[in-house]
Structure 1
Amino acid sequence: MPEVVPFRAVRPTRDKVGLISSRPYHHYTQAEREARLDNNPFSFLHIVNPGYKYHKEVSGPDRYELVRNRYQEFREDHIFIKDEHPCFYIYERKDADGHVFTGIVAATGLNSYKSNLIKRHEETIAYREEDFKKYLQTVGFNAEPVLLTHPDNSDLSAIINNAKSIRPEYEFTTTYRDTHYLWLIDDAQTCQQITQIFKSMDHLYIADGHHRSASAHQLCEELKKSNKEHTGKEPYNFFMSYIIPESNLKILEFNRLVKDLNGLSKEEFLIRLDNFFKIENRKNTYYKPQEKHSFSMYLDGDFYSLHLRKLNYKTENALSHLDAQVLYKTVLNPILGIGDARSDKRLDYAHGKKGMAYVKGLVDRGEFKVGFGMLPASVAEMKQIANEGLTMPPKSTYIEPKLRSGITIYEY
């Protein structure tokens, strides 16, 4: 019975939301960031990049202190407001390609996370957990919700559709041509209905945001110990989440690029590949896999199709059936010598929105020797791996929606 409750968000005034909202900091190039910081005094980037005010790069604890200061300035200048009553927030994004994402921004209980009612499919890195925990503890807020997903639910859909029948609190379009909407649900009875619907579900699943949720859990455990009057209702017992139905998720693949052939010649490499795959050289014909356990490869100016010889590969569990794991177990590790896929500097990734054309360009320029493409994982695969208590290899999924920062903010 996952605990999902309304909360009092800090959010932009209606007239400034389009100016404030931003993509996550690392999604911009340096030139893009500077252009926005130069020309938009309301951008959320001024908060997360506070050293820009002093024309200086600032990192670590010093940056965290400055982030807190910039945030407080936005609060003091009434650029942000805090809702008087706890709310659920219906957030919808319509992409330029016509895809629509609709879900609920809420506070989700960390007890549910701790007891595995919120299941995860990725491992986290300890130092990243610790760094973000320190960040949250210093700045006192989080502006990027964890993306959770649940089975489609008709009762929840009816509540959302009813909330959408009135004018949204926010409606704005970005320069990327996606349109964002936000509706508030502050009626206590409806909020209780939503909470009960989530309580009736067996589990929620983390789609994106494993480090954010793990760091929030670390912070919660630390603050509980130091608070002699701990009740379990304090804000640190929850994390901000964006919860959408499974049918709304959009999952893309991550393609793989490797800098060298591990000392093998092209011919030796292809012979080693033949042990696991039926190989077809498609010359300069662009190839994208059409079925599971098939891969695209670009090497030395040619595209290849690789189809797994299933007699030579045994699937033991949900993880071993995943294409990213198949590629690692048959090619990246035994042939190309990739050890830790999280840290090996010979391996890099490019998400599926860029396509194999992007991979081809990097290989043709000599930055990498070989590139591999695959089909995206499915929601069912992601859930089954989580249900079996397993974790995916790094960069197994590129999941949308990617939400903008600064639209709803959760204060600790």
Structure 2
Amino acid sequence: MADIKPFPCIRPREDVAHRIAALPYDVYNREEAKKEVIKESLSFLKIDRAETGLADSVDIYDDKVYEKAKETLNSMIEEGLFITEEMECYYVYELIMNGRSQTGLTACCSIDDYQNNIIKKHENTREEKELDRIRHVDTCNAQTGPIFLAYRSNDVIQKVIDKTKEKEAVYDFTSPDAITHRVWRIDDKSHITAIRTAFHEIGDIYIADGHHRAASAVKVGLKRREEAGGYTKEDEFNYFLSVLFPEDQLMILPYNRVVKDLNNHTVEEFLDKISEHFTIIPKGTDKVTPEQKGDFGMYLQGIWYKLEVKEHIKNNLDPVESLDVSILQKHLLSKILGIRDPRTDKRIDFIGGIRGLTELEERVHTDMEVAFSMYPTSISELFSVSDAGLLMPPKSTWFEPKLRSGLFIHKL
């Protein structure tokens, strides 16, 4: 049973929310983040990427960066740019991209549920990536970027959300990337009880995006427990900030691949080796967007090919081995191109589906040799892998639209 609780939120003042809300910290490199803060002086990147307010000579992991984040957050709260809710509430968060809407619930999840695998993972985390957010959360004494979670649809929760959306929104704005963001507050005690009870009955929750943020938040919570000596279940450090979406509202985009060379094969040798496991169909200059599981697009020397998985490797019932990303990795990227570990191999790069197929062509014409377009991993596949206690290959899913940081802050 999942413990999904309301919380006393720190959130932007209504008239500045559209200026404060920012894409997640890890979407930008240092230079890009600095440009965003110059362009919008209230951007939450001032806090999430506090090195933007320091000299370029300061290392991004220097203690000064985390102290700057804390100082900036507290200053903006003191200036009245953020307001602090006294009541524990849930928040309905709707995002609309290209006319398509998805609506989630902003709440706090239990670190014990994470520890006990009620909140399920499908990716490994790397300690060095966790450390940055551990220091950020611990120094700021706040969680500033929500974890993107998914759950199996529930009528009780959906009815409360739909009813809440009939009211006037707390926030309603469109960000520069043309995503509309709307937020409503759930402060009715009967609705809060109904939601919390429904999540108790749902059970499993799944991390869709934000594995490192989740792991970092949990480690800070465990650190705070140890420091406190004694604690109660209601202490805020026992919970981490999340937005939870029902499975039927989520859209996963493909995570495409580009590779630097053909591993010393000629084009003819490369195509011949591919034909052992894939049927190759030349498509000329027509871009190939895979329309079903088991199909891939390949762009090589100005020509697009459709690759269809042959039957002898198609019917694997293992939830990880049957993923398209696994099939491509095992039977082509590793076996033919020699890319054994896509996490560390510098010859491969990954392109989010939001960038389209033109981006793949451009990379092949500049710094890469071959590109592969993928059919997106489904949410049911993500659930199956997580339920089996297994892990997906890296870069298996790309979720859009991205949640904004700075709209909801959870103080520890």
**TM-score interval for Structure 1 and Structure 2 normalised by the shorter chain:** over 0.9
Q: Which residue of 1 aligns with 2:93?
A: 91
Q: Which residue of 2 aligns with 1:332?
A: 333
Q: With structure 1 as the length reference, what TM-score do the two structures score?
A: 0.95
CA shift digits 1:157-180 (9 cap, x unpaired): 111111122211111222222221
What SS does the corresponding residue of 2:284 show, helix, strand or coil? coil
Contact 1:8–1:84 (8 Å) recurs in 2? yes
Q: Per-residue deviation at 1:82? A: 0.8
What SS does the corresponding residue of 1:318 show, helix, strand or coil? coil
Q: Per-residue deviation at 1:37? A: 2.6
Rounded Cα–Cα distance in structure 2 between residues aligned with 1:79 and 1:57: 30
Q: Which residue of 1 aligns with 2:344?
A: 343
Give the 5 Å matches for 1:332-371: 332-365=333-366, 367-371=367-371
Give the 5 Å matches for 1:202-213: 202-213=203-214
Rounded Cα–Cα distance in structure 2 between residues aligned with 1:112 and 1:31: 37
Rounded Cα–Cα distance in structure 2 between residues aligned with 1:405 and 1:194: 24
Q: Which residue of 2 aligns with 1:310?
A: 311
Rounded Cα–Cα distance in structure 2 between residues aligned with 1:323 and 1:147: 23
CA shift digits 1:353-379 (9 cap, x unpaired): 2222210111022x0111111100111
Q: Per-residue deviation at 1:52? A: 3.7
Give the 5 Å matches for 1:13-412: 13-28=13-28, 33-56=33-56, 58=58, 59-60=60-61, 61-95=63-97, 97-312=98-313, 315-365=316-366, 367-412=367-412
Question: CA 1:312 to 1:176, structure 2 compared with 1: closer, same or farther past 3 Å?
Answer: closer
Question: CA 1:254 to 1:333, structure 2 compared with 1: closer, same or farther past 3 Å?
Answer: same
Contact 2:314–2:322 (8 Å) recurs in 1? no
CA shift digits 1:169-196 (9 cap, x unpaired): 1112222222211111122232111100
What SS does the corresponding residue of 1:198 show, helix, strand or coil? helix
Question: CA 1:47 to 1:109, structure 2 compared with 1: closer, same or farther past 3 Å?
Answer: same
What SS does the corresponding residue of 1:282 show, helix, strand or coil? strand
Contact 1:146–1:242 (8 Å) recurs in 2? yes
Question: CA 1:31 to 1:116, structure 2 compared with 1: closer, same or farther past 3 Å?
Answer: closer
Rounded Cα–Cα distance in structure 1 between residues aligned with 2:32 and 2:388: 42
Question: CA 1:130 to 1:25, structure 2 compared with 1: closer, same or farther past 3 Å?
Answer: closer
Greater shift, 278-287 or 33-42, is seen at: 33-42
Rounded Cα–Cα distance in structure 2 between residues aligned with 1:39 and 1:353: 23
Question: RMSD of the TM alignment (CA)?
Answer: 1.7
Q: Per-residue deviation at 1:395? A: 0.6
Letter of the 1:5 counterpart? K
CA shift digits 1:39-76 (9 cap, x unpaired): 53322122234344444353112211111111111111
Q: Which residue of 2 aligns with 1:12?
A: 12
Q: Per-residue deviation at 1:35? A: 4.9
What SS does the corresponding residue of 2:321 show, helix, strand or coil? helix
Rounded Cα–Cα distance in structure 1 between residues aligned with 2:192 and 2:183: 16
Structure 2 gaps of 5+ residues are: none
Q: Per-residue deviation at 1:22? A: 1.5
Greater shift, 234-243 or 121-130, is seen at: 121-130
What SS does the corresponding residue of 2:223 show, helix, strand or coil? helix
Letter of the 1:390 counterpart? L
Rounded Cα–Cα distance in structure 1 between residues aligned with 2:100 and 2:238: 34
Q: Per-residue deviation at 1:89? A: 0.6
What SS does the corresponding residue of 1:375 show, helix, strand or coil? coil
Rounded Cα–Cα distance in structure 1 between residues aligned with 2:54 and 2:307: 53
Contact 1:51–1:57 (8 Å) recurs in 2? no
Q: With structure 2 as the length reference, what TM-score do the two structures score?
A: 0.95
Letter of the 1:405 counterpart? S
Q: Percent identity?
A: 34
Letter of the 1:149 counterpart? A
Structure 1 gaps of 5+ residues are: none
Letter of the 2:38 counterpart? D
Rounded Cα–Cα distance in structure 2 between residues aligned with 1:164 and 1:147: 20
